[in-house]
Structure 1
């Protein structure tokens, strides 16, 4: 007996209803992207390995899916690494390409490669799948879509303000309330590392700090100790673990800690600029919250850092994030090209909307009317009507087989098609149709004009 086929862990098939709901989210996001002046681009699903590796930190690099070279890939393998089973050293010799981990680094590559064709500042949006060799769990998949918007070529802090408004506009369009947009600044994090005397361990420090909500204060302290950060340094920074109050009160709290750090004070100034602007242009749905432990463990953020949390009554990780990356294109040879961008986590947003029952009922409705097939002559009459209905933007179809009416009716019920249309000899002679409401069971004779009116 043939083995039942399966799909890789962390990937999914989507049925028609699920695809309709996903497209609903895509459409809302895409509409707001366009309103804010972003232009669409697309990049390949896989990149050269050297484009991706080293851009996401040590943890990120481990999650990149590598693609084996075509043909006899072991022929050119590093023989010494092969003998010692050193996977890190053998990988570059057997894999030159990798699936993209996110859309931001490929976008930076795109900007550098096409810089002479681009008008700066360049506002782009991109909605495509990405892949991560992560451990699958609720809301975390190995293949998933990202919906990104970025601006490159401008250092203006008004861009950060606009991205917060963009988040708010999308979640308002999705009717998702009580969303928290968390903000921090990489310069503040650098200031923390500076005042505790651990500047050389900034990456280890921020990666550990970013896990506060997952592993708690004790877990963060333990990870910092294992990374070589001293107990005295941790004690000096410990007050930020439990920083309370509103935006202004939290700013006051970190001002005292960062009073001797110039870069830290610069980060505070940038945060205050954004907060003042949002106070003047209030958000409709979301709230803006300062989270000084937010680090998003990625090497390339240099200024503002964003992370969006779902409503508190939904157990879900972040549903969006981003930040400023002033030197990202520099890794590809294009210096002094400032950028800032955000991303929406489609799959997690889907789960949140599903849990809160926020998908409109009409989203999954597809075919409005099904014509019953009584035979070739009747099918031709029905198909002519189907074509005319489609011209009126009404979704209609003909059951393809001349089979028992009960089977055709059951098909309509299973697909939740609201109307069934019958056309036999009597209807053809009268140039009419019998329209049946599948919910109420009511039937009535209508001509084509009346049919259009009912189905519209």
Structure 2
């Protein structure tokens, strides 16, 4: 029985038309990246597991596609038994993590539970490192609670176990591989380093509408500079790309991590920064009362919420909003730094001007708080289009620190290719010239006619015009039908009379107009419709 063809969940096939449209977006983004001085790099589709694991949090680690060791590794009986043992221990570790997530037992209880499995652990002690001096020191110095220690410790053991059977993993994003690239090639790179990268990434996520397991990221980053002129340029880069794509009226939202930290400090909730910002970020979805309710549930006091009341009706021009923030954050040094940074970026963008985009301050914008340290960006589609963000980014102070290169500040942005394509499609903004099809097809009337046609085709191709010949000498009606289904706009007809007069018959398949022309006129006509 023939196998039914299928593809893995969360992946897609793209038709010639879809590929042509995606290439149009890629080309536009790439052209602008290079126009702004960014240089292309590429990194492998898979990295060493240790490069990726532990960089995206526990949830991110679960979404990384691990690659099993290849070769005859799994044919070895001892190796097979070890794998079975590892899987068993991984299940035990997950049970412990689940237990400690809902309970708050003592460290002694953790030791007792773990020691109960010691006989299983000892059998593979040569392949895992069950001690972590760094973690134990943190625990002894009261820098970790028992619960935090257990979570990090078990994650560490789990990674060591996984590493034994899977030493590589598919790239989860472009940022961590970029950080690895910078550190590994730091002696070859001229800083500040402006790099762009357009490559696919993979995530073991649950497939759903608009969310895939394989998709492209389009990133531009600058590392090795603290200058806020980089943020100004990145706003201009967004504006340039979306204007060229015809997406007039996008809104580039900006905020600053220091602003959010300052607000939390002013209201006496610095230890609740994430809870505070997560709730505030939902303002447009659940409204003011919903946000206040969530903040109260997270332990933020009513007096603290009262202090941020102005944020719930934060309107006006950028200058007016920044002035309001200045008044609110007077007592916070960190917050005032954020205000100064916003002022610099927004004033200079305003003075230089944007083509079609709008820059707006959104104090509820709180993406990437685990790594962004300064400016935060998010781009929303033109009004009237129901779509999530189509771009985002921000500044980070220590991207490369995870690989040992400290204090390498950077800032970067990303374009959401798939969402951008959906918005352009919805607004019918793809140019008619964006097509993967030929501009003209030469019909096949026989051997001599085909030879005559192929000589002209070779010259047209040298001139950069996409043309082809129908390969088989079949009924002309079938050849016209093929051209129509392919969406080819012109047909070129060559018979005995055309060869005798050194001419070509050209028919516009849209209007039906037909005429006989010289090669020079044919070239001009097809060039005009290139």
TM-score (norm 2): 0.79
Cα distance in 1 for residues equivalent to 2:516 and 2:184 = 64
Distance 2:430 2:55 in 1: 37
1:64 aligned partner? 64
| SS state at 1:340 partner | strand
SS in 2 for 1:362: coil
Find the aligned partners of 1:400 and 1:327 in 2 and give their Cα distance.
59
Distance 2:417 2:53 in 1: 25
Name 1:279's counterpart in structure 2: 350
Q: What is the aligned partner in structure 2 of residue 437 from structure 1?
A: 508
Q: 1:129 to 1:212 in 2, by over 3 A?
A: farther
Residue 106 of structure 1, aligned match among 177, 180, 184: 177
Residue equivalent to 1:128: 199
Return the alpha-carbon distance in structure 2 between the equivalents of residues 4 and 328 of structure 1. 46
- Output the CA distance in 2 between the equivalents of 1:417 and 1:222: 60
Instruction: Verify: 1:81 aligned to 2:90, yes or no.
Output: yes
Match of 2:266 in 1: 195
**Alpha-carbon distance, 1:288 to partner:** 0.9
Separation in structure 2 between the aligned mates of residue 433 and residue 143 of structure 1, nearest angstrom: 47
Residue deviations 1:31-89 (CA, integer Å, cap 9, x gap): 11111111111111222333233333444444433334434386342642245655966
What does residue 446 of structure 2 align with?
375
Gaps of at least 5 residues in structure 2 are 98-154
Residue pairs, 1:299-314, within 5 angstroms: 299-314=370-385
Q: Deviations over 1:162-217 (max 9, x none)?
A: 11111111111112111111001111112223233333443444444434444555
- Larger deviation: 142-151 or 244-253? 244-253
Aligned with 1:116 (options 167, 183, 187): 187
Stretch moving more, 51-60 or 175-184 = 51-60
* Aligned pairs, number: 456
Instruction: Kindly indicate whether the alpha-carbon contact (under 8 Å) linking 1:82 and 1:90 is maintained by their aligned counterparts in 2.
Output: no
- 1:310 Cα deviation (Å)? 0.6
Moved more, 220-229 or 63-72: 220-229
1:175 is the counterpart of 2:246: yes
**Residue matched to 1:5:** 5
1:320 pairs with 2:388: no
Q: Name the structure 2 match of 1:417.
A: 488
Q: Is the 8 A contact 1:206 1:297 kept in 2?
A: no
Question: Aligned ranges for residues 134-173 of structure 1 at < 5 Å?
Answer: 134-173=205-244
Shift of the 65–287 alpha-carbon distance from structure 1 to 2, 3 Å rule, reads same
Deviation at 1:403, TM superposition (A): 1.9
Q: Which residue in 2 is equivalent to 1:93? A: 161
Contact 1:309–1:320 under 8 Å retained in 2:
yes
Q: Which residue of 2 aligns with 1:262?
A: 333
Q: Deviations over 1:374-402 (max 9, x none)?
A: 33333222222211111121211011222
Q: 1:104, CA displacement in angstroms?
A: 1.8
1:26 corresponds in structure 2 to 26
Which stretch of the first structure deviates more once superposed, 80-89 or 356-365? 80-89
2-structure distance, mates of 1:139, 1:84: 33
Tell me if the contact between 1:57 and 1:297 (Cα under 8 Å) persists in the aligned partners.
Answer: no
Deviation (angstroms), 1:154: 0.7
Distance 1:238 1:139, change over 3 A: farther
TM-superposition CA deviations, 1:137-176 (whole Å, max 9, x none): 4443332222111111110111111111111111111121
Query: Kindly tell me: are residues 220 and 447 of structure 1, through their superposed partners in 2, closer, same or farther at Cα, counting changes over 3 Å?
Result: same
RMSD across aligned C-alpha pairs, in angstroms?
A: 2.6
Distance verdict in 2 for CA 1:112–1:204, change over 3 Å: farther
Give the Cα separation in 2 of the matches to 1:60 and 1:213.
Answer: 27
User: 1:393-422 CA distances to partner (integer Å, 9 max, x unpaired)?
Assistant: 121101122222211110001111111122
438-447 vs 265-274, which deviates more?
438-447
Q: Is the 8 A contact 2:252 2:377 kept in 1?
A: yes
Which structure's CA Rg is the greater one?
2
TM-score under structure 1 length normalisation: 0.91
8 Å contact from structure 1 (residues 203, 299) kept in 2: no
Q: Distance in 1 between matches of 2:158 and 2:475?
A: 63
Query: What residue ranges of structure 1 are gaps of 5+ in the alignment?
Result: none
SS in 2 for 1:441: coil
Is residue 401 from structure 1 mapped to residue 466 from structure 2 by the alignment?
Answer: no
Aligned to 1:342: 413
* Counterpart Cα distance in 2 of 1:96 and 1:220: 44
Q: Distance in 2 between matches of 1:436 and 1:430?
A: 18
